[in-house]
């Protein structure tokens, strides 16, 4: 058995194969591990060389990772190469959380004095990082309308180095014209960074739309079981050296147990996501008809403002969407959440279990989200969709029945997104 950090060479993972097949085979190399189906959990800091020559070759710029565990072991490399293959990029690097992948991708590109454009619909903690940290580092942040498309060209300045996209947007689910944004950004020599977590590598192909760095919060669908935190950023050739050096300079690394859980999750991603998609769409459609519901935010619904772009660019929908309720009292909201039996109240998403999270209207600089009642972010899990619909609808019924006289019997803490 060898722990040599050679790139995995599974026979079936060539690019001509359907992605469902590649999810099963990517990053695996039984020949290198005594025939084991799965890449083992390889732990280690020190990696010994057998000779001066081997030690020196491990330090070559072309192979800087062979010399120390912080640059990863065979477990790390298997996951990174699988993700690069699935996203369709040149190479990938793992981070200890999705947020770390977002922040370090920006920091790998932006320099003091630069101007960065970030979509107004960005994931809340990324927004906070941009506002609090980038400014402090002398990087000017401007939030732009997620629906701007090619009009982003008007906002580009000579020192704009990053255009950050996220589609659909966090909480508000606007679909962006990523190709048009990327074309304009590249005319100005800026890099396009995309948070591609919602679609996963299955349902949106970032590099076909001109993205330079694509981020997955692997915590969500890739791990898929709510039992690990992990992020991964994949770059094209243009951005790879900047991304890799940027991450290594900060000492970023992730543990092999969590990476192993992500590798395990990958093997069932296609099967799980189709179920999340079907249940999410069915639930969204049915909730549209409930009298307590003002609007369902889901680009897979034909009436959604982002539907046409979603149809043009995406290969499917995940199970995450928003439900805006008609105004109701705080007591009614409490009754609603207390009545749910199958939906948990909690941060994150992408696990096998359904979640309903009360969210504050997201911070916006350009385009506020019109919504005057409670806003709920829903994740459709792998339970039976009729059970999910019945549970959610009867909790809404209970809230409507309760009216404003009801007393809450379960404390609701409004949470930030995760
Ligand atoms: C959850 C999430 C992240 C951050 O992932 P963590 O692993 O929780 O740090 C980033 N982007 C999006 C869109 C997310 O939903």
In this structure, are residues 310 and 300 in contact, taking their beta carbons and an 8 Å threshold?
yes
Q: What's the pLDDT score for residue 62? A: 58
Provide the pLDDT confidence category of residue 405 given band limits of 50, 70 and 90: low
Q: Mind giving me the DSSP string for 185-243?
A: HHHTT-EEEEE-TTTHHHH--GGGGT-SEEEEETTTTTT-SSS---EEEEE-HHHHHHH
pLDDT tens per residue across span 298-324: 999 999 999 999 999 999 999 999 999
pLDDT tens per residue across span 73-83: 999 999 999 99
Out of 26-30, 274-278, 337-341, 377-381, least confident range:
26-30
pLDDT tens per residue across span 368-397: 888 899 999 999 999 999 999 999 999 999
Out of 63-72, 190-199, 281-290, 351-360, least confident range:
63-72
CATH number of 19-267: 3.40.640.10
Is 195 one of the annotated active-site residues of the chain?
A: yes
Map residue 258 onto helix, strand or coil.
helix
Q: What's the pLDDT score for residue 411? A: 43
Q: What is the DSSP letter of 310?
A: H
Q: Is the CB of 197 under 6 A from ligand 1?
A: yes
The residues, ordered by sequence, that sit 6+ positions from 318 with a Cβ below 8 Å of its Cβ are 198, 199, 200, 203, 221, 273, 276, 277, 280, 350
For residue 9, pLDDT over 60 is answered with no
- In this prediction, residues 183-208 reach a mean pLDDT of 98
In this structure, are residues 161 and 112 in contact, taking their beta carbons and an 8 Å threshold?
no
pLDDT tens per residue across span 253-281: 999 999 999 999 999 999 999 999 999 99
Is 220 one of the annotated active-site residues of the chain?
A: yes
Out of 97-106, 274-283, 356-365, least confident range:
356-365
Provide the CATH topology of domain 270-417. 3.90.1150
Provide the pLDDT confidence category of residue 64 given band limits of 50, 70 and 90: low
Q: Which of 97, 99, 130 to mutate to test the pocket of ligand 1 (most atoms within 8 A of CB)?
A: 99
Q: Is the CB of 99 under 6 A from ligand 1?
A: yes
pLDDT tens per residue across span 210-236: 999 999 999 999 999 999 999 999 999
Is 68 one of the annotated active-site residues of the chain?
A: no
The rounded Å distance from CA 2 to ligand 1 centre is 34
| Active-site entry in 11, 43, 59, 70 | 70
For the chain, the maximum distance between any two Cα atoms, rounded to a whole number of angstroms, is 79
Please state, in angstroms and rounded to a whole number, the distance separating the CA atoms of residues 301 and 118: 26
- In this prediction, residues 98-113 reach a mean pLDDT of 98
Answer whether 19-267 and 270-417 agree in fold. no
Structure tokens at 251: 């000492």
All structural domains of the chain with their residue ranges: 19-267, 270-417
Q: What is the DSSP letter of 46?
A: B
Q: What is the DSSP letter of 406?
A: P
Cis amide linkage into residue 367, ω under 30° from 0: no
Q: Is the CB of 231 under 6 A from ligand 1?
A: yes
3-state class percentages of the chain: helix first, strand second, coil last, to nearest 5: 40, 15, 45
For residue 217, the ligand 1 atom closest to its alpha carbon is: 5
Q: What's the pLDDT score for residue 17? A: 80
């Amino acid at each position: 058995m060898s722990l040599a950090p050679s790139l995995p060479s599974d026979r079936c993972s060539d690019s001509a194969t359907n992605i469902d097949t590649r999810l099963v085979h990517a990053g695996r190399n039984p020949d290198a591990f005594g025939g084991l189906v799965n890449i083992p959990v390889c732990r280690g800091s020190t990696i010994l060389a057998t000779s001066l020559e081997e030690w020196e070759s491990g330090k070559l710029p072309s192979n800087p990772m062979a010399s120390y565990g912080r640059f990863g072991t065979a477990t790390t490399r298997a996951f990174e190469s699988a993700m690069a293959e699935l996203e369709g990029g040149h190479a990938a690097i793992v981070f200890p959380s999705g947020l770390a992948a977002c922040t370090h991708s920006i920091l790998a590109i932006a320099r003091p004095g630069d101007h960065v454009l970030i979509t107004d619909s960005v994931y809340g903690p990324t927004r906070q990082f941009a506002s609090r940290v980038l400014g402090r580092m002398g990087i000017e942040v401007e939030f732009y309308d997620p629906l701007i498309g090619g009009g982003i060209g008007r906002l580009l300045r000579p020192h704009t180095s990053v255009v950050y996209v996220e589609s659909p947007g966090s909480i508000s689910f606007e679909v962006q014209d990523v190709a048009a944004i990327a074309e304009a950004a590249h005319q100005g020599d800026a890099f396009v960074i995309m948070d591609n977590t919602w679609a996963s590598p299955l349902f949106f192909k970032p590099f076909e739309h001109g993205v330079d760095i694509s981020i997955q919060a692997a915590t969500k669908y890739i791990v898929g079981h709510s039992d690990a935190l992990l992020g991964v950023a994949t770059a094209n050739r243009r951005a790879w050296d900047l991304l890799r050096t940027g991450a290594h300079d900060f000492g970023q690394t992730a543990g092999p147990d969590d990476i192993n859980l992500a590798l395990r999750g990958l093997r069932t991603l296609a099967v799980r996501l189709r179920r999340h998609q079907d249940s999410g769409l069915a639930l969204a459609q049915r909730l549209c008809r409930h009298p307590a519901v003002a609007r369902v935010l889901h680009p897979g619904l034909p009436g959604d403002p982002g539907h046409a772009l979603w149809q043009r660019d995406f290969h499917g929908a995940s199970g995450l969407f928003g439900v805006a309720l008609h105004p109701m009292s705080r007591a009614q909201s409490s009754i609603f959440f207390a009545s749910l039996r199958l939906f948990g109240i909690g941060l994150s998403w992408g696990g096998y279990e359904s979640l309903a999270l009360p969210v504050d209207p997201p911070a916006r600089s350009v385009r506020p989200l019109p919504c005057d009642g409670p806003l709920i972010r829903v994740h459709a899990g792998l339970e039976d969709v009729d059970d999910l619909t019945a549970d959610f609808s009867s909790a809404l019924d209970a809230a409507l029945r309760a009216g404003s006289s009801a007393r809450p019997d379960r404390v609701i803490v409004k949470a930030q997104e995760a």
